[in-house]
Structure 1
Protein backbone atom coordinates (compact mmCIF):
# COMPACT_ATOMS: atom_id res chain seq x y z
CA UNK A 1 0.00 0.00 0.00
CA UNK A 2 1.39 3.41 -0.96
CA UNK A 3 2.06 6.04 1.68
CA UNK A 4 -0.88 8.19 0.58
CA UNK A 5 -3.21 5.19 0.83
CA UNK A 6 -1.91 4.29 4.29
CA UNK A 7 -2.42 7.86 5.45
CA UNK A 8 -5.95 7.95 4.07
CA UNK A 9 -6.72 4.63 5.75
CA UNK A 10 -5.42 5.90 9.10
CA UNK A 11 -7.42 9.11 8.82
CA UNK A 12 -10.57 7.14 8.05
CA UNK A 13 -10.03 4.97 11.13
CA UNK A 14 -9.44 8.03 13.30
CA UNK A 15 -12.59 9.67 11.92
CA UNK A 16 -14.60 6.53 12.70
CA UNK A 17 -13.23 6.38 16.25
CA UNK A 18 -14.09 10.05 16.71
CA UNK A 19 -17.62 9.45 15.44
CA UNK A 20 -18.07 6.65 17.96
CA UNK A 21 -16.98 8.90 20.82
CA UNK A 22 -18.56 12.21 19.82
CA UNK A 23 -15.32 13.91 18.85
CA UNK A 24 -14.02 15.73 15.78
CA UNK A 25 -11.15 14.28 13.72
CA UNK A 26 -9.46 17.68 13.86
CA UNK A 27 -8.91 17.12 17.57
CA UNK A 28 -6.44 14.29 16.90
CA UNK A 29 -2.91 14.89 15.65
CA UNK A 30 -0.79 12.21 13.99
CA UNK A 31 2.88 11.81 14.85
CA UNK A 32 4.58 9.76 12.13
CA UNK A 33 7.19 7.64 13.90
CA UNK A 34 10.13 7.59 11.50
CA UNK A 35 12.80 6.00 13.67
CA UNK A 36 13.20 3.03 11.32
CA UNK A 37 13.10 4.88 7.99
CA UNK A 38 15.59 6.96 6.08
CA UNK A 39 15.79 10.73 5.68
CA UNK A 40 14.53 10.35 2.10
CA UNK A 41 11.48 8.42 3.27
CA UNK A 42 10.90 10.97 6.02
CA UNK A 43 10.97 13.68 3.36
CA UNK A 44 8.29 11.80 1.42
CA UNK A 45 6.20 11.59 4.57
CA UNK A 46 6.42 15.36 5.02
CA UNK A 47 5.53 15.90 1.38
CA UNK A 48 2.44 13.72 1.84
CA UNK A 49 0.97 16.32 4.16
CA UNK A 50 2.05 14.97 7.53
CA UNK A 51 3.76 17.72 9.50
CA UNK A 52 4.71 15.95 12.74
CA UNK A 53 7.68 13.59 12.97
CA UNK A 54 8.49 11.34 15.93
CA UNK A 55 11.96 10.05 16.79
CA UNK A 56 13.48 8.44 19.87
CA UNK A 57 17.23 8.16 19.20
CA UNK A 58 19.19 11.42 19.10
CA UNK A 59 22.10 9.84 17.28
CA UNK A 60 19.84 8.88 14.38
CA UNK A 61 17.37 11.75 14.57
CA UNK A 62 19.75 14.70 14.57
CA UNK A 63 21.50 13.81 11.27
CA UNK A 64 18.05 13.22 9.77
CA UNK A 65 16.82 16.60 11.05
CA UNK A 66 19.90 18.24 9.54
CA UNK A 67 19.44 16.46 6.20
CA UNK A 68 15.87 17.75 6.07
CA UNK A 69 16.98 21.24 7.15
CA UNK A 70 14.57 21.24 10.05
CA UNK A 71 11.43 20.71 7.98
CA UNK A 72 8.39 19.64 9.94
CA UNK A 73 7.54 19.64 13.63
CA UNK A 74 9.70 17.19 15.59
CA UNK A 75 8.55 15.20 18.59
CA UNK A 76 10.92 13.25 20.85
CA UNK A 77 8.92 10.20 21.86
CA UNK A 78 11.33 7.87 23.65
CA UNK A 79 13.23 7.75 26.91
CA UNK A 80 15.54 10.77 26.95
CA UNK A 81 18.88 10.62 28.71
CA UNK A 82 19.78 13.90 30.38
CA UNK A 83 23.17 13.96 28.67
CA UNK A 84 21.43 13.90 25.27
CA UNK A 85 19.23 16.94 25.94
CA UNK A 86 21.87 19.29 24.53
CA UNK A 87 21.65 17.47 21.18
CA UNK A 88 17.93 17.94 20.68
CA UNK A 89 17.19 21.36 22.17
CA UNK A 90 16.26 23.75 19.38
CA UNK A 91 15.35 20.89 17.05
CA UNK A 92 12.51 19.08 18.83
CA UNK A 93 9.55 21.26 19.74
CA UNK A 94 7.83 18.53 21.78
CA UNK A 95 9.15 16.07 24.35
CA UNK A 96 6.66 13.26 25.03
CA UNK A 97 8.71 11.57 27.74
CA UNK A 98 9.28 13.89 30.69
CA UNK A 99 9.56 11.19 33.33
CA UNK A 100 11.77 12.56 36.13
CA UNK A 101 12.67 15.84 37.78
CA UNK A 102 16.35 15.72 36.81
CA UNK A 103 15.28 15.69 33.15
CA UNK A 104 13.01 18.69 33.72
CA UNK A 105 15.92 20.59 35.23
CA UNK A 106 18.23 19.73 32.33
CA UNK A 107 15.61 20.74 29.77
CA UNK A 108 15.12 24.02 31.60
CA UNK A 109 18.86 24.70 31.72
CA UNK A 110 19.50 23.88 28.07
CA UNK A 111 16.43 25.69 26.79
CA UNK A 112 17.39 28.79 28.76
CA UNK A 113 20.91 28.73 27.32
CA UNK A 114 19.53 28.30 23.80
CA UNK A 115 16.89 30.99 24.21
CA UNK A 116 14.09 28.60 23.30
CA UNK A 117 11.12 26.86 24.89
CA UNK A 118 10.05 23.23 25.09
CA UNK A 119 6.56 21.77 25.16
CA UNK A 120 6.51 18.63 27.26
CA UNK A 121 4.19 15.76 28.10
CA UNK A 122 4.51 14.32 31.60
CA UNK A 123 4.91 10.58 31.10
CA UNK A 124 2.76 8.58 33.51
CA UNK A 125 3.02 4.83 34.04
CA UNK A 126 -0.71 4.19 34.31
CA UNK A 127 -0.41 0.42 33.85
CA UNK A 128 2.17 0.09 36.63
CA UNK A 129 4.34 -2.23 34.55
CA UNK A 130 7.96 -2.40 35.69
CA UNK A 131 9.06 -2.33 32.04
CA UNK A 132 7.40 1.05 31.44
CA UNK A 133 8.95 4.46 32.07
CA UNK A 134 7.02 7.26 33.73
CA UNK A 135 6.01 8.51 37.13
CA UNK A 136 3.26 6.89 39.16
CA UNK A 137 -0.15 8.56 38.80
CA UNK A 138 -0.16 9.60 42.46
CA UNK A 139 3.11 11.52 41.92
CA UNK A 140 1.76 13.69 39.11
CA UNK A 141 0.29 16.42 41.29
CA UNK A 142 3.48 17.11 43.24
CA UNK A 143 5.58 16.96 40.06
CA UNK A 144 3.38 19.51 38.31
CA UNK A 145 3.40 21.80 41.31
CA UNK A 146 7.19 22.03 40.97
CA UNK A 147 7.07 22.14 37.17
CA UNK A 148 4.87 25.23 37.33
CA UNK A 149 7.96 27.14 38.49
CA UNK A 150 9.88 26.40 35.28
CA UNK A 151 10.22 29.23 32.78
CA UNK A 152 11.28 27.43 29.61
CA UNK A 153 9.54 24.05 29.93
CA UNK A 154 5.78 24.08 29.47
CA UNK A 155 3.88 20.91 30.39
CA UNK A 156 0.98 20.76 27.97
CA UNK A 157 -0.43 17.35 28.84
CA UNK A 158 0.19 13.73 29.76
CA UNK A 159 1.58 10.72 27.92
CA UNK A 160 1.38 7.00 28.58
CA UNK A 161 2.15 3.68 26.94
CA UNK A 162 -0.33 0.84 27.23
CA UNK A 163 0.59 -2.82 27.65
CA UNK A 164 1.19 -4.81 24.48
CA UNK A 165 -2.12 -6.68 24.14
CA UNK A 166 -3.51 -8.95 21.43
CA UNK A 167 -6.92 -7.38 21.99
CA UNK A 168 -6.75 -3.55 21.79
CA UNK A 169 -9.84 -3.35 23.98
CA UNK A 170 -7.69 -4.45 26.92
CA UNK A 171 -5.82 -1.15 26.72
CA UNK A 172 -8.94 0.92 27.34
CA UNK A 173 -8.59 1.17 31.16
CA UNK A 174 -5.06 2.56 30.75
CA UNK A 175 -6.09 5.25 28.28
CA UNK A 176 -9.18 6.09 30.28
CA UNK A 177 -7.06 6.31 33.39
CA UNK A 178 -4.76 8.88 31.79
CA UNK A 179 -7.69 11.02 30.67
CA UNK A 180 -9.29 10.86 34.11
CA UNK A 181 -5.97 11.80 35.72
CA UNK A 182 -5.63 14.81 33.42
CA UNK A 183 -9.16 15.91 34.22
CA UNK A 184 -8.52 15.53 37.96
CA UNK A 185 -5.31 17.58 37.74
CA UNK A 186 -7.10 20.27 35.77
CA UNK A 187 -9.88 20.38 38.35
CA UNK A 188 -7.36 21.13 41.10
CA UNK A 189 -5.50 23.64 38.89
CA UNK A 190 -2.24 22.39 40.38
CA UNK A 191 -0.24 23.47 37.34
CA UNK A 192 -1.83 26.90 37.04
CA UNK A 193 -2.96 26.41 33.46
CA UNK A 194 -4.92 23.66 31.72
CA UNK A 195 -3.30 20.44 30.56
CA UNK A 196 -4.95 20.10 27.16
CA UNK A 197 -3.08 17.24 25.49
CA UNK A 198 -3.05 13.45 25.76
CA UNK A 199 -0.34 11.55 23.87
CA UNK A 200 -1.46 7.93 23.80
CA UNK A 201 -2.08 5.20 21.29
CA UNK A 202 0.16 3.47 18.77
CA UNK A 203 -0.39 1.34 15.69
CA UNK A 204 -2.11 -1.52 17.49
CA UNK A 205 -4.40 0.43 19.80
CA UNK A 206 -4.79 3.99 18.53
CA UNK A 207 -8.52 3.71 17.83
CA UNK A 208 -9.24 2.85 21.47
CA UNK A 209 -6.95 5.72 22.53
CA UNK A 210 -8.88 8.14 20.31
CA UNK A 211 -12.17 6.96 21.76
CA UNK A 212 -10.76 7.69 25.22
CA UNK A 213 -9.56 11.19 24.38
CA UNK A 214 -6.14 11.03 22.71
CA UNK A 215 -5.11 14.30 21.09
CA UNK A 216 -1.91 12.80 19.64
CA UNK A 217 -1.36 9.26 18.37
CA UNK A 218 2.10 7.90 17.54
CA UNK A 219 2.07 5.70 14.44
CA UNK A 220 5.04 3.83 13.02
CA UNK A 221 5.01 0.96 10.53
CA UNK A 222 1.23 1.08 10.10
CA UNK A 223 1.65 4.54 8.60
CA UNK A 224 5.18 4.96 7.32
CA UNK A 225 6.04 1.42 6.28
CA UNK A 226 9.18 -0.44 7.10
CA UNK A 227 11.94 0.85 4.85
CA UNK A 228 15.04 0.39 6.97
CA UNK A 229 17.64 3.12 7.47
Structure 2
Protein backbone atom coordinates (compact mmCIF):
# COMPACT_ATOMS: atom_id res chain seq x y z
CA UNK A 1 0.00 0.00 0.00
CA UNK A 2 2.81 2.40 0.89
CA UNK A 3 4.58 1.62 -2.38
CA UNK A 4 1.40 2.40 -4.31
CA UNK A 5 0.98 5.70 -2.50
CA UNK A 6 4.61 6.57 -3.25
CA UNK A 7 4.14 5.77 -6.92
CA UNK A 8 1.02 7.94 -7.07
CA UNK A 9 2.83 10.80 -5.36
CA UNK A 10 5.67 10.58 -7.87
CA UNK A 11 3.21 10.59 -10.76
CA UNK A 12 1.50 13.69 -9.40
CA UNK A 13 4.88 15.42 -9.15
CA UNK A 14 5.67 14.56 -12.76
CA UNK A 15 2.26 15.78 -13.86
CA UNK A 16 2.93 19.08 -12.11
CA UNK A 17 6.34 19.42 -13.76
CA UNK A 18 4.91 18.69 -17.23
CA UNK A 19 2.16 21.24 -16.69
CA UNK A 20 4.60 23.90 -15.55
CA UNK A 21 6.69 23.40 -18.69
CA UNK A 22 3.73 24.46 -20.86
CA UNK A 23 1.86 26.78 -18.50
CA UNK A 24 -1.03 24.46 -17.67
CA UNK A 25 -2.92 23.92 -14.43
CA UNK A 26 -2.32 20.39 -13.06
CA UNK A 27 -5.98 20.29 -12.02
CA UNK A 28 -6.82 19.98 -15.73
CA UNK A 29 -5.20 16.53 -15.87
CA UNK A 30 -7.11 13.48 -14.62
CA UNK A 31 -5.44 10.13 -13.90
CA UNK A 32 -7.25 6.93 -14.85
CA UNK A 33 -5.62 4.10 -12.89
CA UNK A 34 -5.55 1.12 -15.22
CA UNK A 35 -6.35 -1.94 -13.13
CA UNK A 36 -6.95 -4.47 -15.90
CA UNK A 37 -3.98 -6.62 -14.85
CA UNK A 38 -4.58 -6.60 -11.10
CA UNK A 39 -7.05 -8.38 -8.87
CA UNK A 40 -9.90 -7.11 -6.71
CA UNK A 41 -7.76 -6.51 -3.61
CA UNK A 42 -5.19 -4.47 -5.53
CA UNK A 43 -7.98 -2.47 -7.19
CA UNK A 44 -9.37 -1.73 -3.73
CA UNK A 45 -5.92 -0.54 -2.66
CA UNK A 46 -5.78 1.77 -5.68
CA UNK A 47 -9.01 3.41 -4.52
CA UNK A 48 -7.75 3.54 -0.93
CA UNK A 49 -4.62 5.34 -2.16
CA UNK A 50 -6.79 8.15 -3.50
CA UNK A 51 -7.26 7.33 -7.18
CA UNK A 52 -10.68 8.61 -8.23
CA UNK A 53 -10.87 6.94 -11.65
CA UNK A 54 -10.54 3.23 -12.45
CA UNK A 55 -9.83 1.98 -15.99
CA UNK A 56 -10.66 -1.52 -17.19
CA UNK A 57 -10.43 -3.01 -20.69
CA UNK A 58 -11.87 -6.53 -20.45
CA UNK A 59 -15.54 -6.73 -19.57
CA UNK A 60 -15.37 -10.25 -18.11
CA UNK A 61 -12.64 -9.20 -15.68
CA UNK A 62 -14.06 -5.78 -14.91
CA UNK A 63 -17.61 -6.69 -13.88
CA UNK A 64 -16.71 -8.67 -10.70
CA UNK A 65 -14.55 -5.75 -9.54
CA UNK A 66 -17.28 -3.26 -10.38
CA UNK A 67 -19.86 -5.30 -8.45
CA UNK A 68 -17.72 -5.08 -5.31
CA UNK A 69 -16.40 -1.53 -5.65
CA UNK A 70 -18.75 0.44 -7.92
CA UNK A 71 -19.85 2.77 -5.13
CA UNK A 72 -16.26 4.04 -4.99
CA UNK A 73 -14.68 6.11 -7.73
CA UNK A 74 -15.63 6.57 -11.37
CA UNK A 75 -15.31 3.64 -13.75
CA UNK A 76 -13.93 3.87 -17.29
CA UNK A 77 -14.01 1.23 -20.02
CA UNK A 78 -10.78 1.97 -21.87
CA UNK A 79 -10.35 -1.09 -24.10
CA UNK A 80 -11.91 -2.21 -27.35
CA UNK A 81 -15.61 -2.92 -26.76
CA UNK A 82 -17.46 -5.49 -28.79
CA UNK A 83 -21.03 -4.59 -29.60
CA UNK A 84 -22.43 -7.65 -27.81
CA UNK A 85 -20.69 -6.56 -24.59
CA UNK A 86 -22.22 -3.07 -24.57
CA UNK A 87 -25.07 -4.27 -22.36
CA UNK A 88 -22.56 -5.04 -19.60
CA UNK A 89 -20.97 -1.58 -19.76
CA UNK A 90 -23.89 0.83 -20.15
CA UNK A 91 -25.27 1.74 -16.74
CA UNK A 92 -22.14 0.54 -14.97
CA UNK A 93 -19.30 2.53 -16.47
CA UNK A 94 -19.43 6.32 -16.67
CA UNK A 95 -16.98 6.63 -19.58
CA UNK A 96 -16.11 4.68 -22.69
CA UNK A 97 -12.75 5.62 -24.23
CA UNK A 98 -13.06 3.50 -27.37
CA UNK A 99 -16.09 4.47 -29.46
CA UNK A 100 -15.12 3.65 -33.05
CA UNK A 101 -18.14 2.46 -35.03
CA UNK A 102 -21.71 3.47 -35.77
CA UNK A 103 -22.84 -0.08 -34.93
CA UNK A 104 -21.41 0.21 -31.43
CA UNK A 105 -22.92 3.68 -31.04
CA UNK A 106 -26.35 2.32 -31.99
CA UNK A 107 -26.11 -0.43 -29.38
CA UNK A 108 -24.95 1.97 -26.68
CA UNK A 109 -27.77 4.35 -27.58
CA UNK A 110 -30.36 1.57 -27.38
CA UNK A 111 -29.12 0.32 -24.03
CA UNK A 112 -28.74 3.80 -22.55
CA UNK A 113 -32.21 4.89 -23.60
CA UNK A 114 -33.74 1.80 -22.03
CA UNK A 115 -32.45 2.88 -18.62
CA UNK A 116 -32.71 6.65 -19.25
CA UNK A 117 -28.95 7.08 -19.00
CA UNK A 118 -26.32 9.01 -20.92
CA UNK A 119 -22.94 7.49 -21.78
CA UNK A 120 -19.90 9.74 -21.92
CA UNK A 121 -17.72 8.60 -24.81
CA UNK A 122 -14.37 9.36 -26.39
CA UNK A 123 -14.04 8.65 -30.10
CA UNK A 124 -10.97 6.50 -30.61
CA UNK A 125 -8.82 7.80 -33.45
CA UNK A 126 -5.98 5.81 -35.01
CA UNK A 127 -3.71 8.81 -35.60
CA UNK A 128 -0.57 6.72 -36.17
CA UNK A 129 -2.28 4.55 -38.78
CA UNK A 130 -0.97 1.31 -37.25
CA UNK A 131 -2.86 -1.74 -38.47
CA UNK A 132 -2.61 -3.32 -35.02
CA UNK A 133 -4.54 -0.47 -33.37
CA UNK A 134 -8.28 0.05 -33.25
CA UNK A 135 -9.87 3.40 -34.00
CA UNK A 136 -11.21 5.35 -36.93
CA UNK A 137 -8.95 7.22 -39.32
CA UNK A 138 -8.47 10.99 -39.41
CA UNK A 139 -10.27 11.04 -42.78
CA UNK A 140 -13.35 9.41 -41.27
CA UNK A 141 -13.38 11.46 -38.09
CA UNK A 142 -15.38 14.51 -39.09
CA UNK A 143 -18.22 12.58 -40.74
CA UNK A 144 -18.31 10.11 -37.86
CA UNK A 145 -18.47 12.88 -35.27
CA UNK A 146 -21.24 14.73 -37.11
CA UNK A 147 -23.20 11.46 -37.17
CA UNK A 148 -23.01 11.38 -33.36
CA UNK A 149 -25.47 14.31 -33.24
CA UNK A 150 -28.17 11.71 -33.98
CA UNK A 151 -27.49 9.87 -30.69
CA UNK A 152 -29.14 11.71 -27.82
CA UNK A 153 -27.98 9.24 -25.16
CA UNK A 154 -24.31 9.50 -26.12
CA UNK A 155 -22.24 12.51 -25.11
CA UNK A 156 -19.01 12.68 -27.07
CA UNK A 157 -16.77 14.38 -24.53
CA UNK A 158 -13.61 14.15 -26.60
CA UNK A 159 -11.08 12.08 -28.52
CA UNK A 160 -8.76 9.24 -27.55
CA UNK A 161 -5.63 7.86 -29.18
CA UNK A 162 -2.59 5.72 -28.43
CA UNK A 163 0.88 6.62 -29.62
CA UNK A 164 3.17 3.96 -31.08
CA UNK A 165 5.62 2.20 -28.73
CA UNK A 166 8.79 3.77 -30.10
CA UNK A 167 11.79 5.65 -28.75
CA UNK A 168 11.35 8.69 -31.01
CA UNK A 169 9.78 11.24 -28.68
CA UNK A 170 9.08 13.72 -31.46
CA UNK A 171 7.11 11.15 -33.43
CA UNK A 172 5.10 10.39 -30.30
CA UNK A 173 4.57 14.11 -29.77
CA UNK A 174 3.32 14.52 -33.35
CA UNK A 175 0.59 11.92 -32.75
CA UNK A 176 -0.69 13.74 -29.66
CA UNK A 177 -0.42 17.12 -31.37
CA UNK A 178 -2.47 15.87 -34.31
CA UNK A 179 -5.24 14.67 -31.98
CA UNK A 180 -5.32 18.13 -30.38
CA UNK A 181 -5.66 19.68 -33.83
CA UNK A 182 -8.51 17.30 -34.63
CA UNK A 183 -10.22 18.42 -31.42
CA UNK A 184 -9.92 22.09 -32.40
CA UNK A 185 -11.38 21.47 -35.85
CA UNK A 186 -14.36 19.60 -34.42
CA UNK A 187 -15.01 22.13 -31.66
CA UNK A 188 -15.54 24.77 -34.33
CA UNK A 189 -18.39 22.68 -35.78
CA UNK A 190 -20.40 23.00 -32.52
CA UNK A 191 -22.05 19.63 -33.03
CA UNK A 192 -24.98 18.78 -30.70
CA UNK A 193 -24.12 16.20 -27.98
CA UNK A 194 -20.43 16.68 -28.85
CA UNK A 195 -18.81 19.07 -26.35
CA UNK A 196 -15.38 17.73 -27.41
CA UNK A 197 -13.63 19.28 -24.39
CA UNK A 198 -11.47 16.30 -23.41
CA UNK A 199 -8.43 14.44 -24.75
CA UNK A 200 -7.66 10.93 -23.49
CA UNK A 201 -4.04 10.29 -24.46
CA UNK A 202 -0.85 9.27 -22.73
CA UNK A 203 0.11 6.09 -20.90
CA UNK A 204 2.87 5.13 -18.48
CA UNK A 205 5.65 5.51 -21.04
CA UNK A 206 4.57 8.80 -22.64
CA UNK A 207 2.12 10.64 -20.38
CA UNK A 208 4.34 13.67 -19.86
CA UNK A 209 4.52 14.32 -23.61
CA UNK A 210 0.74 13.88 -23.81
CA UNK A 211 0.21 16.44 -21.04
CA UNK A 212 2.49 18.91 -22.81
CA UNK A 213 0.31 18.48 -25.92
CA UNK A 214 -3.02 18.95 -24.13
CA UNK A 215 -4.13 15.66 -22.55
CA UNK A 216 -6.89 16.03 -19.97
CA UNK A 217 -7.06 12.28 -19.17
CA UNK A 218 -4.02 10.00 -18.91
CA UNK A 219 -4.31 6.23 -18.55
CA UNK A 220 -1.65 4.82 -16.22
CA UNK A 221 -1.05 1.15 -15.48
CA UNK A 222 2.48 -0.12 -14.91
CA UNK A 223 3.84 3.13 -13.51
CA UNK A 224 1.31 2.83 -10.66
CA UNK A 225 0.92 -0.93 -10.30
CA UNK A 226 4.47 -2.02 -11.08
CA UNK A 227 5.51 -4.26 -13.95
**TM-score between the two structures when normalised by the length of structure 2:** 0.96
Instruction: Assess if the C-alpha contact under 8 Å between 1:168 and 1:204 holds in 2.
Output: no
Tell me if the contact between 1:65 and 1:71 (Cα under 8 Å) persists in the aligned partners: no
Structure-1 residue corresponding to 2:20:
19
1:166 deviation in Å? Answer: 2.4
**Corresponding position: 1:109 with 2:110:** yes
CA contact (8 A) 1:141 1:190 kept: no
Which runs of 5 or more residues in structure 1 are unaligned? none
Which residue of structure 2 lines up, in the alignment, with residue 51 of structure 1? 52
What is the count of residue pairs matched by the alignment? 226
CA distance, structure 2, for counterparts of residue 168 and residue 65 of structure 1: 36
CA distance in 2: counterparts of 1:130 and 1:111, whole angstroms: 31
Give, in angstroms, the shift of residue 138 of structure 1: 1.8
Find the aligned partners of 1:184 and 1:87 in 2 and give their Cα distance: 33
Partner residue, 2:188: 187
Q: Residue 150 of structure 2 aligns to a residue in which SS?
A: coil
Moved more, 143-152 or 170-179: 143-152
The Cα of 1:189 is off from its aligned counterpart by 2.3
3-state SS of paired residue (2:103):
helix
- The whole-number CA distance in structure 2 between the counterparts of 1:153 and 1:140 is 16
Runs of 4 or more, structure 1, over 4 Å off, are none
Greater RCO (CA < 8 Å, at least 6 residues apart): 1
Aligned to 2:74: 73
Structure 1 segment 208-223 matched on structure 2, within 5 A? 208-223=209-224
Checking the alignment, whether the CA contact within 8 Å between 1:55 and 1:78 is kept in structure 2 is: yes
In the TM superposition, what is the alpha-carbon distance from 1:52 to its structure 2 partner?
Answer: 0.2
Contact 2:155 2:194 in 1 (8 A): no
For the structure 1 residues 80 and 95, does the alpha-carbon distance in structure 2 shift closer, same or farther, using more than 3 Å as the test? same
Q: Which residue of 2 aligns with 1:150?
A: 151
- Helix, strand or coil at the partner of 1:188: coil
Aligned counterparts of 1:87 and 1:186: Cα–Cα separation in 2: 31
Q: Note the C-alpha offset of 1:47.
A: 1.1
TM-score with structure 1 length normalisation?
Answer: 0.95
